[in-house]
């Protein structure tokens, strides 16, 4: 099982969404964690205040067609503000009911690396064997470090429950922790898929990583030029570019494109990754999140007959 939540660089959550789409996973079950969350906001539509939505915690399954191990992805929309221990124990209990043998968490490791540097993957685990497995794959073994939040607590509590726990951390530049960083997600997924023996086409994510690296390299270059200009007495910073920024209101063309992507993703969940990218680009994924994840219900969604549990 892989467990993901939002975090630095969206490294973990984007890797989870990628697996959901590319493996055409389906919703297995949902964890009732309502008492661990509080409504922190309300929605306002045309001046009318409506209750906000609590974060959801869901398990998705991929059934291995080769009769090997299945894969479960646990996707939590947020980390609870308190009660993390209880939350993790409930995840572990349900994972045990599903027959999970090893739980992975994905996370980001912010370092002084540059965008052009290779992205390393770090590993920490609850057993020496799992650590050695990571070492043999060329991962950097964490030493004298601390993993905060669910990414570290869940593997430890999984071990207490008799399930091996592993945390894979993708390196990313510490100056860009608030920016989605697909290269880190790509590094973590490459390692995990190799360990799990699952083949997934990573081409879309590789292209996203290259595009983001080029964008960040250009951004750093512009900042460097601005700082040099400031030192020389010129303008402090270049005028910001607005042409790529989405407007707060979606255009009719944007909504038409979104509906087309929803339609194609309903026919084949493999297209859902492109839908997720478009919703992220337009900064409207939270608005469509429930509808997006509804694509992964058990019935339909992959161009094949509905899957059934035996």
Residues 229-287 have pLDDT tens digits of 666 665 554 544 444 444 457 888 888 888 888 888 887 777 787 888 888 888 888 88
Among the residue ranges 109-113, 181-185, 231-235, 240-244, the one predicted with the least confidence is: 240-244
Residues 6+ apart with CB under 8 A from 73: 1, 2, 3, 4, 16, 19, 20, 25, 59, 60, 61, 62
Say how many residues make up the chain: 310
* pLDDT given at position 235: 53
- As a whole number of angstroms, the distance between CA 287 and CA 248 comes to 12
- Six-digit token string for 294: 């509804």
pLDDT tens, residue by residue, 272-306: 878 888 888 888 888 888 888 788 876 444 434 33
Q: Are 148 and 142 in contact (CB under 8 A)?
A: no
Q: What angle do CA 301, 305, 310 make, to 5 degrees?
A: 105
CATH number of 2-202: 3.40.50.10900
* pLDDT for 244: 45
Which pLDDT score, from 0 to 100, does residue 2 have? 97
What's 243's DSSP letter? Answer: T
Of 251, 179, 249, nearest in space to 209 by CA: 179
Alpha-carbon span 25 to 302, nearest angstrom: 9
Phi-psi region of 249 (alpha: psi -120 to 50; beta: other; left: phi over 0): beta
pTM recorded for the entire structure: 0.79
CA dihedral 110, 112, 114, 119 (to 10 degrees): -40
């Amino acid at each position: 099982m892989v467990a993901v939540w939002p975090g630095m660089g969206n490294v973990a959550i984007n890797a989870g969404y990628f697996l959901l789409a590319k493996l055409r996973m389906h919703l297995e079950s949902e964890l009732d964690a309502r008492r661990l969350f509080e409504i922190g906001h309300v929605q306002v539509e045309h001046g009318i205040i409506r209750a906000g939505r609590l974060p959801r915690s869901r398990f998705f399954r991929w059934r291995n067609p080769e009769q090997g191990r299945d894969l479960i992805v646990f996707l939590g929309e947020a980390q609870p503000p308190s009660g993390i221990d209880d939350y993790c124990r409930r995840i572990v209990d349900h994972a045990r009911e599903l027959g999970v043998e090893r739980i992975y968490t994905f996370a980001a490791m912010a370092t002084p690396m540059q965008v052009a540097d290779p992205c390393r993957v770090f590993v920490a685990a609850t057993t020496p064997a799992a650590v050695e497995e990571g070492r043999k794959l060329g991962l950097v073994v964490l030493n004298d470090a601390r993993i905060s939040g669910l990414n570290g607590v869940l593997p430890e509590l999984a071990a207490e429950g008799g399930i091996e726990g592993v945390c894979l951390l993708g390196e990313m530049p510490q100056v860009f922790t608030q920016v989605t960083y697909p290269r880190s997600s790509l590094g973590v997924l490459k390692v995990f898929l190799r360990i799990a023996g699952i083949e997934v086409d990573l081409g879309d994510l590789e292209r996203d990583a290259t595009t983001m690296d080029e964008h960040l390299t250009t951004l750093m270059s512009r900042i460097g030029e601005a700082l040099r200009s400031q030192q020389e007495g010129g303008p402090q910073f270049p005028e910001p570019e607005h042409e790529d920024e989405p407007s707060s209101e979606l255009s009719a063309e944007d909504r038409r494109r979104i509906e087309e992507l929803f339609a194609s993703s309903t026919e084949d969940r493999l297209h859902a990754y492109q839908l997720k990218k478009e919703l992220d680009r337009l900064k409207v994924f939270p608005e469509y999140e429930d509808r997006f994840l509804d694509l992964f219900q058990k019935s339909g969604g992959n161009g094949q007959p509905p899957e059934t549990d035996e």
